[in-house]
Amino acid sequence: MQTEVPANNQSVASNLLIKPEELDNWFHQKFTEEMQKYQDNKTPSMTIIATKGTMDMAYPPFILASTAAALGWDVSVFFTFYGLELLKKDLQLKVSPMGNPAMPMKMPFGPQWLQNINMNIPNALVTNIPGFENMATAMMEQTTKSKGVASIAELREMSVEAGVNMVACQMTVDLFNYAQDEFIDEVSEWVGAASFLPKAAKADVSLFI
């Protein structure tokens, strides 16, 4: 035996039902609001893997890291293989024109027309000029100084002060028989790739330099 629902109750029941399109609109609005809250409260993150130990290749990781940290990002730099040279207490970084044909050689002083000339020196000639690496390094140092660009030591200090997480590759330390006291005290972690990669996988930006 079926009981009939009074007409007034049927009207109430129909009013309580949510139409599919109304449910879709509500869900879309709620999802958009929650995603906006997440984005507003989220701290951007960046990881950098630094593998080079020359003066010219030390600038990119430290400039990017210090800039991102200054913007409030969570930044970690993993220094591995020759990149560990960038964490040494005693920085002995040189410019290496050898194998880097795209690198312009410019005079850091003299008239402007002379400073604007790219002196492309063949690698075969570079290897046969005694002291060329030291000369290229001195020219690079003079150029950065004259242009008001911070030194590597200054950029590294700025990165540390901004809260950049300096991570040293323990495998490379063991491989090259380094001692931990050769490196700056601000190294926060001594880990391997297996420990760093999960952090890189979750980062908003991950760079290999």
**How does pLDDT run across 18-36, given as a tens digit for each residue?**
777 877 787 778 777 777 7
User: How many CA atoms within 13 Å lie on the side-chain side of 185?
Assistant: 1
Average pLDDT over residues 167-196: 96
Name the token pair of 21. Answer: 């399109």
In this predicted structure, the answer to whether residue 172 has a pLDDT above a threshold of 50 is: yes
Cβ-Cβ contacts under 8 Å for 153 (sequence gap 6 or more): 91
Is 44-208 assigned to CATH 3.40.50.1100? no
- Per residue in 126-141, pLDDT (tens digit) is 555 556 667 777 777 7
Do residues 80 and 200 lie in contact, with contact meaning Cβ atoms separated by under 8 Å? no
Using the predicted structure, report yes or no on whether residue 112 has a pLDDT greater than 70: no
Q: Which residues contact 121 (CB under 8 A, 6 or more apart)?
A: 97, 105, 132
Please give the pLDDT value at position 188: 94
Q: Is the per-residue pLDDT at 100 higher than 80?
A: no
